[in-house]
Copies of this chain bind each other. A is one copy, B any other.
Amino acid sequence: MLKGPFLEKNFIGATTNYDEAEIVLIGMPYDCTCSNRPGTRFAPQQVRVESVGIETYSPYFDFDIANKPFFDAGDLEFPFGNAEKTLKIIEENTDCIYNDGKKILGIGGEHLLTLAEIKSIRKKYKDLAVIQFDAHTDLREEYLGEKLTHSGVMYRIAKIVGYDSIAQIGIRSGQKEEFDFMNKYHTLVKSPLELDKFKNRPVFLTIDVDVLDPSLMPGTGTPEAGGMTYIELINMLKCIKDFNIIGADIMELAPDIDPTKVSTATACKLIREVLSFL
């Protein structure tokens, strides 16, 4: 036998025992409906590799994720170009996770994939609410005739959970019709207080990394100036950390777009923060 010591091939701090895990981190490398710059398919594997560069201790949440049992399942294998089959694979695996009494932490991939997670989780949690951090409304009914598109994921999700069960934070880009939709249904949240309505409901937290300002997070397909600083995002997360978060995902990182790797390092930190309160 080899003597080692060896570095882990998993996200830093992960347990290698699926059964004892409370949370399953799962990579979802798909980006085929994205409308601008692709490359989010490489996020899960790069996040895993770069995670060795961060500490397992979060000073923001005063928590060390080495103390929370989570399992890094690796990356699902998808048929490139076939969104429907891809969504089905995610839904089936999410079913497994919740049947096993665990929570998902999905690592995208494009934002459309969140739809499959929600479809699965909704089966178990009928009262599900969704909190979205994002630069974009993602409320298009269709994009160039396509219904399955990352620009319309929140529209599809709203159809499932109800317009009044979604909250959108950080939005600063969309068509006029989409902004009208947000105004009509009051989905756009500007103050943390507005989130309190979801306090006693099961909440899925979906973070599109482009909610952060592209100065910090250039590594994403459709960067939008005018976004949050890291501290502003952390402060919002602190407001919901005691909610009943029953699953989460972190989407739309495209590592190769940012040659400095700061985007990936920041996504690793963000995963750590979410793990600390999930």
Q: What is the interface of chain A, defined by CB distance below 8 A to chain B?
A: 1-10, 18, 24, 26-27, 29, 31-39, 41, 45-46, 48-49, 53-55, 57, 59-60, 64, 73-83, 85, 89, 92-93, 96-97, 100, 143-146, 148-149, 172-176, 179, 213-216, 218-219, 222-226, 229-231, 234, 256-262, 265-266, 269
The residues of B that contact A96 with a CB separation of less than 8 Å are: 1-3
Q: Which of B148, B218, B269 contacts A260 (CB 8 A)?
A: B218
In contact, A260 and B258 (Cβ under 8 angstroms): yes
In contact, B59 and A1 (Cβ under 8 angstroms): no
Number of copies: 6
The residues of B that contact A77 with a CB separation of less than 8 Å are: 4-7, 144
Known contacts being A3-B93, A57-B174, A179-B59, is A82 close to B146, with CB within 8 Å?
Answer: yes
- Most chain B CB within 10 A, of A8, A60, A79, is at A79
In contact, B172 and A80 (Cβ under 8 angstroms): no
Q: Interface majority SS on A: helix, strand, loop or mixed?
A: loop
Q: Which of B49, B214, B234, B257 contacts A45 (CB 8 A)?
A: B49
The residues of B that contact A146 with a CB separation of less than 8 Å are: 79-82
Contacts A79-B144, A85-B145, A225-B269 aside, 18 further interface pairs with beta carbons under 8 A come to: A2-B97, A6-B74, A6-B75, A6-B76, A7-B75, A7-B77, A9-B48, A38-B39, A46-B49, A55-B173, A57-B175, A59-B173, A59-B174, A79-B143, A223-B265, A225-B265, A257-B260, A258-B260
In contact, B35 and A144 (Cβ under 8 angstroms): no
In contact, A2 and B24 (Cβ under 8 angstroms): yes
* Measured CA separation A219–B5 after assembly (Å): 27
Q: Which of B46, B55, B145, B260 contacts A79 (CB 8 A)?
A: B145
* Measured CA separation A138–B236 after assembly (Å): 29
Q: Which of B76, B172, B229 contacts A4 (CB 8 A)?
A: B76
The residues of B that contact A55 with a CB separation of less than 8 Å are: 173-175
The residues of B that contact A41 with a CB separation of less than 8 Å are: 38
* Measured CA separation A223–B173 after assembly (Å): 27
